[in-house]
Amino acid sequence: MQLQVGEIVARISYNKDLLFRVVGIKNDPPVADLLGEEIRLMADAPLHDLERVDEREKQEKRHYFAEKAKMSYRLFRQDHLFQHEKNQQRMRSACETKPFRMPGKVLHLDGDPVYLQKCMKLYEKLEVPVYSVHIKEEEMPDKITGLLELARPDILVITGHDAYVKSKGEKSELKAYRNSRYFAKTVYEARRRMPHLDQLAIFAGACQSHFESLIRAGANYASSPGRVNIHALDPVYVVAKLSFTSFTEQVNTWDVLKNTLSGEKGLGGVESRGLLRLGLPYSPSESFS
């Protein structure tokens, strides 16, 4: 089968359950390197196991994930509006002046430029202040300190692609994962500079990532407890909840997970404080985020 880099394919042996982009082709043996279209999974497959996906199939798969994304967005907006009104009432109980909001600022590192653009659109839609960088997973540990100094974030997202590779070891072994070790080292380096979990909140991981190593390294939230695939937008929903919850409140872990597309098998974490601050007086001509 003659395939080109950039084509959209599915794996026959997995009943064509997911769409992948071809990002590389090896000839001996004939194998294609693949990245998930909607989920943060890195894989490879022999060319004979791949099939081009026609436009109808593409639209069906994309529609399925788009509907799941819409549901997550609706749930988040409902929760966000409730939180916003609660914050407004808290400030109004002290005075009658309308407050301004300073939501937690995000630094988002992503190993996939396509997913990064999808995430940026959602951040904008949710009005989360963000500074984003496309950077290869293996380069993240060496560059994180400089990026933290540049962006001065309240929240750090470390994501891209990952996968558990059975031939490389057991699920408990970090060496058996494509990029988990880079994510864990990046978390560790970030924590060397900002050790407090409520000073800098961290989300780390991608599909099937080694959850325990990421939490031990210092992440507040990580993937993937059940070693399952996570959706490209899941990191955004996790950190948006932190960004818009008051610093006076703890964020219940289930409240974070319930608005994601992957749920508790794909994501987990520890109780953390919100990062939103309210201030006075409000000025309609100024933005503080």
C-alpha distance from residue 31 to each of 49, 52, 54, 245, 283 (Å) = 9, 15, 21, 46, 58
What architecture is the 63-279 domain classified under in CATH? Answer: 3-Layer(aba) Sandwich (3.40)
Burial 73-92 (b: 16+ CB within 10 A, else e): beebeebbeebeeebeeebe
- For residue 46, the one-letter residue type is P
Task: Tally Cβ neighbours within 10 Å of residue 32.
Answer: 24
**Residue-level pLDDT at 261:** 81
Cα-atom radius of gyration of the chain, to the nearest Å?
A: 20
Residues of the chain with pLDDT under 70: 1, 75, 78, 80-97, 284-289
**Residue-level pLDDT at 86:** 64
Q: Which of 47, 45, 57 is nearest to 19 (CA)?
A: 57
**Residue-level pLDDT at 289:** 58
Each domain of the chain, given as residue ranges in start order, spans 8-53, 63-279
The residue ranges of DSSP E strands in 88-142, in sequence order, are: 100-102, 106-110, 130-134
**Residue-level pLDDT at 234:** 92
Could you report the per-residue pLDDT of 118-128, keeping only the tens digit for each?
Answer: 999 999 999 99
pTM of the prediction? 0.86
**Residue-level pLDDT at 223:** 97
The residue ranges of DSSP E strands in 120-161, in sequence order, are: 130-134, 155-159
Pairing of strands 30-36, 20-27: antiparallel
Residue 250 pairs in a beta bridge with: 273
The residue ranges of DSSP E strands in 145-267, in sequence order, are: 155-159, 201-204, 221-222, 250-251
Q: Which of 192, 131, 138 is nearest to 160 (CA)?
A: 138
Cβ pair 106, 130 in contact under 8 A: yes
Backbone angles phi, psi at 22, to 5 degrees: -80, 120
DSSP secondary structure code for residue 111 in this structure: S
